[in-house]
Amino acid sequence: MFDLLVVPVEVESYIPQKTQSFLQKPFWAEFKKRNGWSCGMFNVSGKIQGCEFEPFTLTVLLKEISVFGFIAYVPLGPNIFFDKDFSNEETAKTAGKFLSELSEKLKSLLPKNVFCIRFDPPWKTEVLNSKGKKACNEQFPKLSILKNASKKILKAKYDVQPPDSVHLDLTVSDSELEADLKSKWRYNIRLANKKGVEIKRLTGEDAKTTGVDIFYKLYTETAKRDGIAIHSKAYYESLLSLAQNSSSKYNTEVAVYLAIHEGDYLAGIIVISADTQAVYLYGASSNKKRNLMSTYALQWQAICDAKKNGAEQYDFYGIPPLDEPSHPMYGLYRFKTGFGGKIVHFVGSLDVELKPLSYKMYSIAENLRSTWYKRLKKLLKRV
C-alpha cells in the first residue's frame, strides 16, 4: 500500500509548501531550538496505493522528558491528506496505516530512547456529538484511523495544539469580508473607532522592545484574571528577536498589535504570518475601559492587514469544541466566531508508541500533572 522514502535533511533542503502550517516551517523549528527543544527535518516522498504523492518536509521536535527518554512531536504534520474528510472510513484507515508506516521509517532515524511520536496532523473531521451536532474531535477515537495499523496508534488524552478553530477566507473582496461579520461585531468595531481607540502595529525592533514589554504586562493581567498559564517574558522576547533578525530568511513575520486609548493600553495580540497564512497566536486585554470594545477593533485591523499583505487565510487558532453556553470558554467561542469564517475541527493529537512501558509510565505522569494543574487553578481562583 505504501512505498515511503524518509531522508534526514538540513534546513537548506526544506521543501516549501503553501498549505503547510507555520509550525512545520524552519522559523518555528529554530524558535523551539532556542527554547529547549532539539529538531530534525526529514524529506518524505513515495507512493500511496501506487500513486506518487507530492514530497514534503516533516519537522520533528524532540524533548527529553526526565527518566522516560525523548518524546518526538510533529506539530500540524504530516502535511498530507489535509484536504480529505476524516469522517470517511476508508480515508481514516489509509491515514492510520500511513502514520504507522511513517513512524516505522522515522524510528531508526530518531534517538534510540524515543518512547513515543506524537502527531498533530492537519486532518479535518466532522463527527456528530451526543446531541447530533457536527462539531469536535471528542468522538474521534471511534474512527478507524486508530485501528488496522502495524504500530499501535492512540488518541492522546490531551491535545497539544487546539483541535478546533475558525478560519477566515481572505481571498474574498473587502465588502464580502465585512459582510461576514455579525452585526454586533460591526457595531463594536465602529464604536471603538468612534471613541478614539487607536491601533498600533509593531514589527522588528519596536516589537521586540516596546511591543513585548506592553504586551506581556497585559498578558500577565489576563492570566491572573482568567486563570491561564503563560510562558515567561523571555519566551516571547525570543520569538520577536528571531523574527527581527531572520524574517527575510524564513519568509515569516511576527507583529505585535496594541490597542490604545488616551494613553492607556487596553489590549494586545501577536500575529505570525508565513507564506499565505496569518495566525492569531496570543491575545491579552486589560481590565480597563472594556466598554470601548478595543479587542474588536484590534482583531479587525489585524485581519485587514493580513489581507492587504497577501495572506489568503486568517486563523483564529483555537475555540471551544462546541457552541455550548455552559462551556467555561464560551465567551471566546462567541468572540472568534463573530468575525465570520469557517469553523474547522481537526483530529487532535495522536500517539504512536515506540516503547510501550515508557509510554505507559509517561501517560500516567501526564495525567497526574494535568490533575494537579487543574486543582491548582481552582485554588488560585479562591485566593
**Residues 336 and 316 sit within 8 Å (Cβ to Cβ):** yes
Q: What residues form DSSP beta bridges with 168?
A: 314
Pairing state between β 38-48 and 164-169: unpaired
Number of neighbours of residue 8 by Cβ within 10 angstroms = 13
The answer to whether 153 touches 96, Cβ cutoff 8 Å, is: yes
Read off the amino acid at residue 166. Answer: V
- Residues whose CB falls within 8 Å of the CB of residue 321, separated by 6 or more in sequence, listed in order: 135, 136, 137, 138, 163, 164, 345
Cα gap 73→351, rounded to integer Å: 9
Q: Whole-angstrom Cα distance, residue 149 to residue 321?
A: 28
Helical (H) or strand (E) element with 343: strand 342-345
Q: Which residues contact 345 (CB under 8 A, 6 or more apart)?
A: 124, 125, 126, 135, 136, 137, 163, 164, 321
CA dihedral 302, 306, 312, 315 (to 10 degrees): -30
Q: How far out from the chain centre does Cα 270 lie?
A: 13
Given a contact cutoff of 8 angstroms between Cβ atoms, the answer to whether 297 and 310 are in contact is no
pLDDT-derived band at 370, boundaries 50, 70, 90: low
Q: Report, in this order, helix, strand and coil percent for the chain, each rounded to 5.
A: 40, 25, 35
- In terms of pLDDT, which residue wins out, 307 or 151? 307
pLDDT in tens, 230-278: 999 999 999 999 999 886 788 899 999 999 999 999 999 999 999 999 9
How much is the mean pLDDT over the chain?
A: 89
Give which of 72, 55, 61 is closest to 26, Cα–Cα.
Answer: 61
CA dihedral 168, 172, 177, 179 (to 10 degrees): -130
pTM for this prediction: 0.91
User: Do residues 127 and 328 touch, judged by C-beta distance below 8 A?
Assistant: no
Q: What is the DSSP letter of 142?
A: G
Q: What is the pLDDT of residue 328?
A: 87
pLDDT of residue 321: 86
Q: Which residue has the cell 516533516?
A: 58
Residues 6+ apart with CB under 8 A from 375: none
Extract the C-alpha cell encoding 168: 477566515
- For residues 287 and 379, what is the distance between their CA atoms, to the nearest angstrom? 22
pLDDT of residue 134: 47
311-348: pLDDT as tens digits: 999 999 999 988 889 888 899 999 999 999 999 988 89
**The amino acid at 33:** K
pLDDT at site 115: 97
Q: Cα-Cα-Cα-Cα dihedral of 367, 371, 374, 375, to 10°?
A: -170
Look up cell 464604536; give the residue.
Answer: 191
Nearest-angstrom CA–CA distance, 323 and 347? 18
pLDDT band at residue 140 under the 50/70/90 scheme: very low
pLDDT for residue 350: 93
Burial pattern 207-238, b for ≥16 Cβ within 10 A else e, equals: bbeebbebbbebbeebeeeeeeeeeeeeebeb
Amino acid at 257: Y
For the chain, the residue count is 383
Q: Over 90: is that where the pLDDT of 150 sits?
A: no
**Percent of all residues in the chain with a pLDDT value above 90, rounded to a whole number:** 71
In order of their start, the domains of the chain are: 2-161+347-381 (3.40.630.30), 167-345 (3.40.630.30)
Q: Do you find a cis peptide bond into 141, omega within 30 degrees of 0?
A: no
pLDDT at 138: 47
| Terminal C-alpha separation, the chain | 58
